[in-house]
Amino acid sequence: MVTRAALLAIAYASILIAIVAVRPHATPGPFLRDVEAYWSAGSTWNASRDAYGRGIWQAERAVPGVNASRDEVLPFAGPPPVLLIWSLLARLPYPAAARLWSAVLIGAVALLAGLALRAARIRLAPLPFAIAIALAVAFGPLTSDLALGQIALLACAAALAAATLAESRTTVASAAACVAMTQPNAAFGLVSQIGRNRTTAALAAGIVAAYALGAFAAGPAWPLEYARALAAHASAERFIAIQFDPAAIAFGAGAPAPVATAFGIAAMLAALAALVALVLRVPDRLARFAACSALTPFVAGFFHEHDLVVAYPAAIWCATRTRGATRTAGLAGTLLVAVDWLGFAQRPSGIAQSAFLALAACAAFAAFSDDRHRPAMSVLSVFAVLFALAAWLGATHPAPVWPDALGAFHAPAAAPIAQVWAAEQRASGLAVAEPAWALLRALPLIGCALLAAAIYRRSACHRTA
């Protein structure tokens, strides 16, 4: 009999080993790589220049850690409302701004963990909160958000806050919905909340506020202009190795571009049909939010590994609310999403760290329940074999990392930023169709499907108000 406290101790001990003893080699580049684009966009906007154009490179090349001897421009792809945040951040020197933003994201982790427990109807007490934090730290997409400084983490917490508080604190929920709009992928799960009058009103108010802020930053026509910029950026990344949408994975597996596109459309339609089934059959609105958020990579069309943080609420829900075979499926889904599988190919030195973090995620998941309801050991055995095979596959099929693989890259002087970004991906070797990388990227999507299915099965079979 292993107690919940013992499992929690195992989780934190594994995390400590992962962070201290088997930490992989540090990668070159600035602290919080994605903040480079955020801070530079704010600097460019403050200077009354186009934050979505190549002029952003003038600010990025001054960021400590950026190699200014080549073109390694990182485009800004956030919606205009968030420029107001980056404008304030850019008034600080980059190191100070990055540290401040890091503190904000650490707070977002605590907020996300607490809200996920509330969404699962678990009382916020020290033990469950400590378990939720352990699962968060061991959850690869979430820690990627922290390492990169990705706003997806804050937007995910805000989306969950909007869903959780819409019925009781409408004003706070509206503000949270507005923040969630800074990362559309994180806000997708809120579609499942439309229908209740108070919730719909709160979400509508958040959308109106986001539009107003965007109009102040970029003019009233910003949605159309932003859609064009985002479409160009999505086209530049359409089938590259860091895209986690079904179409890119199918292309990486060897499918021709038209077939891969058709596969992506079919996957999106299947996910939308699943979303409709969830809305109709799952009465618990917060369970619907968790499940629909987990389906986001199938419908987004533009999705990176760190965006998988949207599956964290579903992992907490499955860890706390499921039993038997459904709980086993929930654990399998959680582990498949929690591991940075493509990292096995991009950073083989981090495989040992991933193993200890996976152990921590498993222990934290199990600690949410008593012995009678813990998943069968067969799941762990199968996962261990899968982990070993994936580690071998990644180590034998190394993948390049942008911008380390760029060499002395220089883009055409007149090329738009989307074309420059596409050229950077080709120069880095990330536009290659490699089946091994595609298989590694498919694993977390299978995990997302398992999490959504587990929530549906548990909720549809045990209807609650």
Q: pLDDT digit of tens for each residue in the chain (465 aa)?
A: 468 889 999 999 999 999 999 988 777 789 999 999 999 999 999 999 999 999 999 999 999 999 999 989 999 999 999 999 999 999 999 999 999 999 999 999 999 999 999 999 999 899 999 999 999 999 999 999 999 999 999 999 999 999 999 888 888 999 999 999 999 899 999 999 887 678 888 899 999 999 999 999 999 999 999 999 999 998 899 999 999 999 999 999 999 999 999 999 999 999 999 999 998 999 999 999 999 999 999 999 889 999 999 999 999 999 999 988 899 999 999 999 999 999 999 999 999 999 999 999 999 999 998 765 566 677 888 999 999 999 999 999 999 999 988 888 998 888 999 999 999 999 999 999 999 999 999 999 999 999 999 999 988 766 543
**CA 340 → CA 14, 141, 300, 336, 416, distances in Å?**
16, 7, 19, 9, 32
Q: Check whether the bond before 184 is cis (ω within 30° of 0).
A: no
pLDDT number for residue 26: 76
- The token pair at 291 is 């499940």
pLDDT at residue 414, rounded to an integer? 86
Query: Do 375 and 327 contact (CB within 8 A), yes or no?
Result: yes
> Which pLDDT score is estimated for 166?
84
Q: Is 228 exposed, middle or buried (0-12, 13-18, 19+ CB in 10 A)?
A: exposed
Q: What is the pLDDT of residue 118?
A: 93
Amino acid at the residue 16: L
Per the CB < 8 A criterion, the answer to whether 106 and 112 are in contact is: no
